[in-house]
Amino acid sequence: MSRGLGTAQQKILLLLMAGLTMGLSRSPKQHFKILKSIPREWKEIDRLNLKRSIKKLYQSKLIKEKENSDGTVTLILTDKGREKALSYDLDNIKIKKPVRWDKKWRVVLFDIPERIKKVREATRKHLKNLGFYEFQESVFVHPYDCKDEIEYLIEFYNIRKFVRFIIADSLDNELHLKVHFKLND
């Protein structure tokens, strides 16, 4: 899965996909009034980064502007933007199965603190939904390339410092894993 866009751009596309109208007026005081009504994680997009991200999305023809009579601008997803936003839908991302397995294991380890237990549980849930095998409580294994999907998960939850991604040539119980994933040598 090729990402190509920054995290802020991905979040903007998802917001627009969810139906949020981002009304931006020409007045700096009103530029981010809309941000007050959205969840905390979306507020973490700093203003300069948000402006840059919106400009890049516009240049990439993923969004278009509609000028309103009151001087505000409404950002609307284009068909291309809608397609791209769907590829960032965390609940629906998939790991593509290649024609031939490269005989490498992808191992995700995490130690997400108790204070953000909900994020830890959501991460575990997403890894299981992606088809990972739970090797241990916070260690998951998958046979196919999934670096982009894991990077997106890490960025989405802002958990980079708690997660490690390893590509291994062998694991001591890989026979069991090969059976689980129905892999042939």
Res. 167: pLDDT tops 70 = yes
Res 78: pLDDT: 82
User: Which fold is adopted by the domain 7-89?
Assistant: Arc Repressor Mutant, subunit A (1.10.10)
Select from 171, 175, 158 the least CA-distant residue to 106.
171
What distance lies between CA 157 and its chain's CA centroid? 8
Res. 170: pLDDT tops 90 = yes
Res. 23: pLDDT tops 60 = no
Encoding tokens for residue 147? 């670096």
Res 38: pLDDT: 52
Unique residue bearing structure tokens 């024609």: 99
Res 15: pLDDT: 66
Res 126: pLDDT: 93
**Is the full-model pTM beyond 0.75?**
no
Residues forming CATH 1.10.10.10 domain(s) in the chain? 7-89
DSSP element (H, E) containing 153: helix 147-157
Distances (CA, A) of 52 to 6, 17, 66: 11, 19, 18
Res. 29: pLDDT tops 60 = no
More confident residue, 15 or 100: 100
More confident residue, 87 or 152: 152
Cα distance between residue 62 and residue 16, in whole Å: 11
Res. 181: pLDDT tops 50 = yes
Mean pLDDT to the nearest integer, 36-50:
59
CA angle 162, 148, 8 (to 5 degrees): 75
Res. 22: pLDDT tops 70 = no
CATH architecture, domain defined by 105-180 = 2-Layer Sandwich (3.30)
> Crossing angle for the helix pair 79-87 and 7-17, nearest 10 degrees?
110
Mean pLDDT to the nearest integer, 28-34:
46
More confident residue, 78 or 185: 78
Residues forming CATH 3.30.70.240 domain(s) in the chain? 105-180
Mean pLDDT to the nearest integer, 30-53:
59
